[in-house]
Chains A and B, each alone.
Chain A
Amino acid sequence: MSTADEVDLSHGGSRREHRVDSLVRWVFFICALLTILTTVGIILVLVQGAVTFFLDVSIIEYFTSIDWAPLDADPSFGIWPLIWGTLVITVGSALIAVPIGTLTAIYLSEYASDQTRSVLKPLLEILAGIPTIVYGFFALSFITPQIQRVFPDTGTFNALAGAIVVGIMIIPMVSSLSEDAMHAVPDDLRQAAYGLGATRFDVSTNVVVPAALSGIVAAYILAISRAIGETMAVTLAAGMRPQITTNPLEPIQTMTAYMVQVGTGDLSVGSIGYQSLFAVGLTLFAMTLAMNLVSLWIKGRYREVYR
C-alpha cells in the first residue's frame, strides 16, 4: 500500500537485470565449486589408492625401511631414499635460489632505476615461464658437462646438477615475489632512514627487508614447495636411482621422478608397484601442503608490521 509520494526502494534495476545478476552469481559459484570438487577428488583418489597399497605393504615398513626397490623379485618399499632424494634437491636448490633471488630482489627494489627494473622484471618472469623439460635438457647438456670438467667421475645423472637446475628455475619466483613485498614497503620508511644518513645498503638490510619479511619468507616457501614438486627437470638431471647418499655427484631419485618412472613404465595397473604410486603421491602432497600451511601461518603471523 504505497502512496504516490512514498520513495520506492523495492527495485534497484529492471527485472531482466535481476535475472542476469542471479545467473552470474550461480556461474561464479559453480566455478568455485568445481575447483574445490577437483581438489577433493584428487585427494580421494590418492587416499583410496594409498589404502589399497597399505593393505599389501606394511605402513611401518614404508616409514621405517631405508630400501626402495619396488621392482625387485623381492620388493622393498621404504620411502626414505625417495624423501632423501627430494630433500637433497629441495635444500640444494634453496641454497642457490634463496641468496641469489633475495639479492636480485633487493637490487631490483632498492638499487635499480625505474628503467632497469621495467626491463629486468618482465625478463625474470619470462624465465619463470620456460617449460621445465627445457631446464632438464639444459642440465643434461650444459650443467653436468661443466661439473664433469671439475669432477671427471661425475655420472650423466647426478644430484648436484638437479639441485642447480631447480635452483635456477625457482630464482625468478623468489626474486619476483620478494621484490613485490619490498616494493610494497611504504616509501616513508626509506625516507626516514635516508634522512638519518643511512646508506642504500643500510636502508635495504635494516629497513626494507625487515618490513617485507613476511612476504619474503612466503616467497621462499612457495619456491621451496615448487622445488619439492618439481618433476621433469629433476628426472632428467638427477636420474632414477633411489639411494641415500651424501655424495651429490651420484644419481638419486626424488618422489616425483619415481612417479614418472612408474607412470610411464610397463607396470600393470593394480600391481603393488603401481599402487605404490598413490602412497608416494600422498606423501608428496602432505609435504607441499605442510609447506603451504607454514607459509599461511607466517603471513598471518607477521602481517601488519607496517601500516
Chain B
Amino acid sequence: MSLVDAVTDRFATDLRAESTREPPADPDTIIEARDLSVYYGETLAIDSVSMRIPERQVTAIIGPSGCGKSTFLRSINRMNDLVQGARVEGELHFKGKNVYDEDVDPVALRRLIGMVFQRPNPFPKSIYDNVAYGLRIQDKDDNLDERVEQALRQAALWDEVNDQLDKNGLDLSGGQQQRLCIARAIATDPEVILMDEPASALDPVATAQIEDLIDDLARDYTVIIVTHNMQQAARISDKTAVFLTGGELVEFGDTSQIFSDPENERVEAYITGRFG
C-alpha cells in the first residue's frame, strides 16, 4: 500500500489547481481513480485502486490473469454497468468529473471514451457501416464518407479496403477486423481509447501493425491498454500499471522505470517471470 501512496505522492507534488472545479486535478491527468473498488456480487475484483492516467500517452495495464485488469478498464467507461451484480465503490474522475455521480449518463460517457475488445467484434454489416455506426448513433453523420475514410486511414486499413467498403466486415482477416474495430472506435473522435488485449488473438505481423497504430494514436488520444505481453507493454507504453492477484494496484509509474528498476519486489518477481 505504501507504494501506491508513494506513487500518488509523486503526482501530488505537481498538483496545480485548475479552475474552481473541486477537487483540483492535475492538468495533464485525464483519468483519476480514487479508492476505486469493484465487486461482482461478493467477489472483490479490484481493491481500492488509486491512480492518475496522463493525457495523450499510452498507459499499459499488466498483471496475471484474473487480477482485475479488464474490470478496471471497464470501470472507466462504465461498461460494468451492463454486468448484473457488479458494484462500484470509490470514485473515478474523467476530466475532473466523477463518472459515478448520479447525474452522469453512461451513454454520454462512452461517446467520449472508445473501446476495443480482445476478440475482434465487427458488426455483421459492411465495412462502411461498421465505421459509420458510431457516427450515426451520435448524429455526427454530416460528411459521413469523409469521416469514414479518415478513420480507416488512421487505423491503417484504408489502403487495404478502399475498393471494397461494402464488403461484410466479418469477411476480413482477424488483424484487419481488429483494425476495423479500432477505426470504428476512433471515427467518433473520442478522447480516450480503452483497449483490452487488442492483439492477443492476432499473429505477430498483425500484432506489429496494431502496435504501430497505437503509437500513432497516442498523438491524438489517450490510450489505455491491457496486455498480457510484457514486451509489448515495454515497447508501446509511456506509463505502466501493475496489478497483482487480489485486484491490487501494486506499482504504477514510467514504463522504463517499472521494467528496469521496479520498487516493489512482487512486481520485480512478476516482471522477471518468477511470479504470477
Contact = CB atoms under 8 A, between A and B. Distances in A.
Interface of A: 113-114, 186, 188-199, 202, 206-207, 210-211, 305-307
Interface in B94-131: 107-111, 114-115, 117, 119, 121-125
B30 interface: no
Nearest to B138: A197
B117 A197 contact: no
Given A191-B117, A192-B181, A305-B124, A197 B170 contact: no
A188 B255 CA distance: 31
B170 A306 contact: yes
Interface stretch (B50-58, B76-84, B154-162, B260-268): B76-84
A117 to B, nearest CB: 11
Contact of B119 (A188, A190, A193, A305): A188
A305 B122 CA distance: 12
B184 interface: yes
Interface residues of B, number: 27
A192 B123 contact: yes
B174 to A, nearest CB: 12
Contacts of A188: 117, 119, 121
19 contacts: A186-B121, A189-B121, A189-B123, A191-B79, A191-B82, A193-B123, A194-B82, A194-B110, A195-B77, A195-B117, A197-B107, A197-B108, A197-B109, A197-B134, A197-B137, A199-B107, A206-B137, A207-B123, A211-B123
Contacts of B92: none
B124 A196 contact: no
B226 interface: no
A207 B122 CA distance: 11
Interface string B43-66: 000000000000000000000000
A208 to B, nearest CB: 11
B227 interface: no
B72 to A, nearest CB: 16
Given A188-B119, A189-B121, A195 B170 contact: no
